[in-house]
Amino acid sequence: MRITAAIARRPHAPLELADIELAEPRDDEVLVRVVACGICHTDLVCRDQALPVPLPVVLGHESAGIVERVGAAVTGVAAGDKVLLSYDSCAACPSCRAAQPFYCHDFFACNFAARRRDGSTPLRAEGVAVGGRFFGQSGFATHCIAHPRNLVRVAADADLAMLAPLGCGVQTGAGTVLNALRPPPGARIAVFGCGTVGLSAVLGAVLAGCARIVAVDPLPARRALAQSFGATDLIDPASLPATADAVRDLLGDGADYAVECTGIPAVATAAVHALAPRGTAALVGAMPAGAEYRFDAIKLMTQGLTVRGVIEGESRPAEFLPRLIALHAAGRFPFDRMLTRFAFAEINAAIDAAERGAVVKPVLVM
C-alpha cells in the first residue's frame, strides 16, 4: 500500500515527507494505522548517526494507532483494536526467556537495525529499501508494521495522542525509578536532565515517596515544570559548574539515587559523584557510540557505589503501561502536561521546537 512517511536521509538534515510503499504484514505481523507518534531524543540521536542506524530510515518509536489488519498467525489482537507501540525484542534469548526483554541480547538488532531479523524491511521509496522496523515500528508514518510482541492494547475510548509517549520516554523515566532503582520511602534522589525522561523520573520519584527530589536542568522552564511535578530542589548546572558538589551540599552527604537523563558523558560523571555512600546511579541517557564514562575510582570503591545502565525503565509494556494509565486517570501521574501536539506535516518544526527546548515532548498527530 502507499503511505506517507518522514524519511531520514542525512544527519542533521530535515526529514523528508514522502509517499512510499509499505508491504503487506507477514503472517506474524500487524498493520497499524498510526494515529499519533511522540518524538524522543533517541530519534534525533539516530538521525544524526551518534547511534549508527542505517540511512535512509523512517524513525519514530512512540507510536499509537488502530490495528487495520493482522497476519494469519496473529492472536490476541484484532482489527479495530487501539494499541500503543513500544520497543521490540527477540523472544528467544536468555533475557527474553527470563521475562526481561528490555535487556534482550539482540536489543540493538531488534530496535536500531530498522530491519526484520532476516534483514528485510517493509518500506521502499522509488524502488530503494528504506529502514522500516525501527524499534519494531518506524512510527513517523501514516501506517506501520508491528509485531504483537511490541503492541499493548488500550481501551476503545483511549486518547491515543496523549498515550503515545508512554511507549518510550515516559516509561523509561518512570520505570527507571519504579522498576529498576525502587527507592524506599524517604530516599533522596537527584535527576539530571528534565526532558521527558527526567521529568517522568521525577514523577516516579514522587510516586515512590522520595523525600528529596533534586532536579537539574539548565532550562528555567524545565526546572519549573519539575518543581510543579514535585521536585523539592532545583539546580541550574549552567550557573554551577560543580553540579555534583552542589547536589551533595544540598543533601548533606549526597543523593541515595541519581538518574542521568541527558546523554552527556560529563553529566554521567556528575551524577555518580553526587551520590552519598552506598548510593546508586542509573545511567539512562543515550551516549554516542564509542563514548566512555569517567568516575573517580577511589570514591566508587570506598563508598560502595553502584553504577548501572537502564534500558526502557525495565518496563514490560503490557504490564507497566496500563499501570501508568491507571495512575494518570487517578490524577497521580500527570505526564500529559509535558506534551505539545503538532500536525504530522509539521514534523520538522516539531523537532526544531524540541531541540530549542521550546517544547518538552512533541507528539505528531497523523
Ligand X SMILES: NC(=O)c1ccc[n+]([C@@H]2O[C@H](COP(=O)([O-])OP(=O)(O)OC[C@H]3O[C@@H](n4cnc5c(N)ncnc54)[C@H](O)[C@@H]3O)[C@@H](O)[C@H]2O)c1
Q: Give the residues lining the site for Zn ion (CB under 5 A).
A: 40, 42, 89-90, 93, 96, 104, 168
* In the complex, minimum distance from the CB of residue 130 to ligand X, in angstroms, rounded to a whole number: 22
Q: Which of 60, 254, 263, 362 binds ligand X (CB under 6 A)?
A: 263
Is residue 5 at the binding interface for ligand X, with CB under 6 A as the rule? no
Is residue 353 at the binding interface for ligand X, with CB under 6 A as the rule? no
Sign for the CA dihedral angle at 334, 338, 343, 344 comes to negative
Is residue 193 at the binding interface for ligand X, with CB under 6 A as the rule? yes
- Please say which residue, 20 or 225, places its beta carbon nearer to ligand X: 225
- Please say which residue, 122 or 263, places its beta carbon nearer to ligand X: 263
- By a kind-dependent CB cut-off of 5 to 8 A, residue 93 interacts, out of Zn ion, ligand X, none, with Zn ion
- By a kind-dependent CB cut-off of 5 to 8 A, residue 264 interacts, out of Zn ion, ligand X, none, with ligand X
* In the complex, minimum distance from the CB of residue 61 to Zn ion, in angstroms, rounded to a whole number: 6
Q: Which of 57, 110, 177, 194 binds ligand X (CB under 6 A)?
A: 194
- Please say which residue, 25 or 279, places its beta carbon nearer to ligand X: 279
Q: Which of 31, 53, 284, 351 binds ligand X (CB under 6 A)?
A: 284
Q: Select from 22-30, 248-256, 261-269, 326-334 the region that touches ligand X (CB under 6 A).
A: 261-269
- By a kind-dependent CB cut-off of 5 to 8 A, residue 96 interacts, out of Zn ion, ligand X, none, with Zn ion
**Amino acid identity, position 241:** P
- Please say which residue, 89 or 243, places its beta carbon nearer to Zn ion: 89
The position carrying cell 531520514 is: 8
Q: Which of 15, 20, 286, 307 binds ligand X (CB under 6 A)?
A: 286
- Please say which residue, 62 or 217, places its beta carbon nearer to Zn ion: 62
Is residue 216 at the binding interface for ligand X, with CB under 6 A as the rule? yes
Cα separations (Å) of 182 from 44, 98, 176, 313, 338?
29, 20, 8, 11, 23
Is residue 3 at the binding interface for ligand X, with CB under 6 A as the rule? no
Contact set with ligand X (CB under 6 A): 40-42, 45, 168-169, 172, 192-198, 216-219, 222, 237, 261-264, 267, 284-286, 310-312, 357
